[in-house]
Structure 1
Amino acid sequence: MVSSSIPTVDLSPFLSEEGDEHGKKEAIETITQACSEHGFFNIMNHGIPTDLMSKALQLSKTFFQYPPEEKLKLSPAGGCDCELPIGYNIQPDHSVDKNEYFLVFQPGSSLNKYPENLPELRSVIEDLYTRFVGIGSLLESIINDCLGLPPNFLKEYNNEREWDFMAAFRYFPATESEANGITEHEDGNCITFVFQDEVGGLEVHKDGEWIPVVPAEGQIVVNVADFIQVLTNKKFKSATHRVVRSKGISRYSFGFFYNLHWDKWVEPLPQFTAEIGEPPKYKRFQVREYQKMRMMNKLDPPARPEDEIGITYYAIDT
């Protein structure tokens, strides 16, 4: 029988000065199993204040309720050399608008845009962003241990934080004919962190079924993404998920995307291929190329979901 939830991991042993080795071991075992099977888990006692997350959701809701002409003033500038649509974006389908999002880059970046009549939004987002960078680094270290890699291997491999980004999302209420907020997909980065309001809607594909991720105060959802799947030669799974919209009410959430530098080349590590006699399951590719294709899918969604570019684009037939 399929479990009705995803596991919750207590991160306090990694943040405590006492050094709870039993707690660390238990967390590593839980994360290893989750990443091997479906790529999703919750974290609690992670160090990000619940009040800060609640405030961010509240301010994003205020922003998204602005008139369209106000939000569009913060649309991405043409010719931006960052190659990310920084600012306000609407995510269209070919038939209906499903969600909108406000994307930010590094704190202090001149590329970021913020509404002048909501000054608190900037300070809250930048505080949240900085804290997520720290949590991303911690989870990367834990995953490094889960995989049995040499100490600090992933940290040294992924030692630049220039291409992390964060987004506030609003999913519009479901229509009579359409409830999908975002269709089934995997994320094109390393590790994703999500917290959502009480409406929920996030669902995880686990053991052949769709499992709702029920919002819990103070908890953050973590999923392993495409680059971890490639580096581990599919030992750890890039999590398959979707968002289902509710009727009559919008859903608000934040996502932080712990990424690789776009100039990085990615391929299965020898620890999971040559050193254990396994053939690589993916071709070598550059992050920039993959991210550009993924971004094109977001800005101009293909008519058929199966035509979207995913990590299988680089899969080696065996």
Structure 2
Amino acid sequence: MGEACIPTADLSPFVREDEDGKKKAMEAITQACSEYGFFQIVNHGVSLDLIKEAMQPSKTFFDYSDEEKSKSSPSTNAPLPAGYSKQPLHSPDKNEFQLSLKTLPSSDGLLLESIINECLGLPTNFLKEFNHDRSWDFLLALRYFPASNNDNNGITEHEDSNILTFVIQDGVGGLQVLRNVEWIPAVPRGHYCGQWKRCYPGNSVFKCTKI
């Protein structure tokens, strides 16, 4: 029996209006949501070149000195006082990718929301009406120092509190998804992943570990 892998959902049939393709994609997404709570997305309409270009400003920022990065640290009484969550002064020339990436995954998010709504057999637009407040959509960049043989930098196992999360990985990997009692690696494939939770209790548990 081969090693388990994260399911892949192809969104192109929903662009081409391919009914047979839509049926296969919905079957794959239904299985992925019920068994994993996580799946990788291909042919999603977001340019891979754009994704690569958008990752570069993040790398540039984290290569700055600690003194320079500290200028973007949140205040001590901020809701999320960790990390660098304020817009730094050098960011205006990098908003092109930020704005594009924020818009395109949102459109894919609405598409997936409607697909999952149908997969679950819910009333038409149930999830859209339940989750209609777009002000809670946000874009976040995370980066971790390379792990040595003696430590394990990353995020411990957890569940996100929102309904749908998109994850864009670099080529390093480290993301893992819990299925039953087995941690399955989400191998980077140059696309992004969708994480779905709530309607399938016990799924969508994942962590980041060293490679």
Structure 1 length as normaliser, TM-score?
0.62
- 1:233-312 maps to which residues of 2 (within 5 A)? 234=200, 237-246=202-211
Of 173, 185, 199, the residue aligned with 2:172 is 199
User: Runs of 5+ in structure 2 lacking a partner?
Assistant: none
CA offsets per residue over residues 156-183 of structure 1, 9 Å max, x none? Answer: 1111101111111111111343214111
User: Runs of 5+ in structure 1 lacking a partner?
Assistant: 91-101, 104-112, 247-318
CA RMSD of aligned residues (A): 1.9
- In the alignment, the residues of structure 2 paired with residue 122 and residue 72 of structure 1 have an alpha-carbon distance, to the nearest angstrom, of 20
2:135 is paired with a residue whose SS is coil
2:166 is paired with a residue whose SS is strand
- Counterpart of 2:97 in structure 1 is 124
- Counterpart of 2:58 in structure 1 is 60
CA offsets per residue over residues 171-213 of structure 1, 9 Å max, x none? Answer: 1111343214111111111111111111111111124211111
Q: Number of residues paired by the alignment?
A: 211
1:198 is paired with a residue whose SS is coil
Of 56, 73, 87, the residue aligned with 1:114 is 87
2:30 is paired with a residue whose SS is helix
- In the alignment, the residues of structure 2 paired with residue 115 and residue 180 of structure 1 have an alpha-carbon distance, to the nearest angstrom, of 25
State the AA in 2 paired with 1:15.
Answer: V
1:143 maps to 2:116: yes
- Counterpart of 2:193 in structure 1 is 221
* Conserved? CA contact 2:5–2:185, under 8 Å: yes
- In the alignment, the residues of structure 1 paired with residue 112 and residue 31 of structure 2 have an alpha-carbon distance, to the nearest angstrom, of 15
* Conserved? CA contact 1:200–1:213, under 8 Å: yes
- In the alignment, the residues of structure 1 paired with residue 114 and residue 202 of structure 2 have an alpha-carbon distance, to the nearest angstrom, of 17
- In the alignment, the residues of structure 2 paired with residue 171 and residue 131 of structure 1 have an alpha-carbon distance, to the nearest angstrom, of 25
Answer 1 or 2: which has greater strand percent: 1
- In the alignment, the residues of structure 2 paired with residue 50 and residue 212 of structure 1 have an alpha-carbon distance, to the nearest angstrom, of 21
State the AA in 2 paired with 1:70.
Answer: E
State the AA in 2 paired with 1:191.
Answer: L
- In the alignment, the residues of structure 2 paired with residue 223 and residue 31 of structure 1 have an alpha-carbon distance, to the nearest angstrom, of 11
1:185 is paired with a residue whose SS is coil
CA offsets per residue over residues 284-313 of structure 1, 9 Å max, x none? Answer: xxxxxxxxxxxxxxxxxxxxxxxxxxxxxx
Of 20, 25, 44, the residue aligned with 1:22 is 20
- In the alignment, the residues of structure 2 paired with residue 31 and residue 195 of structure 1 have an alpha-carbon distance, to the nearest angstrom, of 18
Of 35, 38, 51, the residue aligned with 1:37 is 35
- In the alignment, the residues of structure 2 paired with residue 79 and residue 187 of structure 1 have an alpha-carbon distance, to the nearest angstrom, of 23
Shift of 1:2: 6.2
- In the alignment, the residues of structure 2 paired with residue 24 and residue 156 of structure 1 have an alpha-carbon distance, to the nearest angstrom, of 23
Shift of 1:39: 0.5
- Counterpart of 1:13 in structure 2 is 13
Answer 1 or 2: which has greater helix percent: 2
CA offsets per residue over residues 37-79 of structure 1, 9 Å max, x none? Answer: 1211111010111111101111100011111111111122455
- In the alignment, the residues of structure 1 paired with residue 66 and residue 93 of structure 2 have an alpha-carbon distance, to the nearest angstrom, of 20
2:171 is paired with a residue whose SS is coil
- In the alignment, the residues of structure 1 paired with residue 97 and residue 207 of structure 2 have an alpha-carbon distance, to the nearest angstrom, of 27
1:145 is paired with a residue whose SS is helix
State the AA in 1 paired with 2:105.
Answer: F
- In the alignment, the residues of structure 2 paired with residue 222 and residue 115 of structure 1 have an alpha-carbon distance, to the nearest angstrom, of 28
* Conserved? CA contact 1:60–1:121, under 8 Å: no
- 1:37-116 maps to which residues of 2 (within 5 A)? 37-77=35-75, 83=79, 89-90=82-83, 102-103=84-85, 113-116=86-89
1:210 maps to 2:183: yes
2:32 is paired with a residue whose SS is helix
Structure 2 length as normaliser, TM-score?
0.91
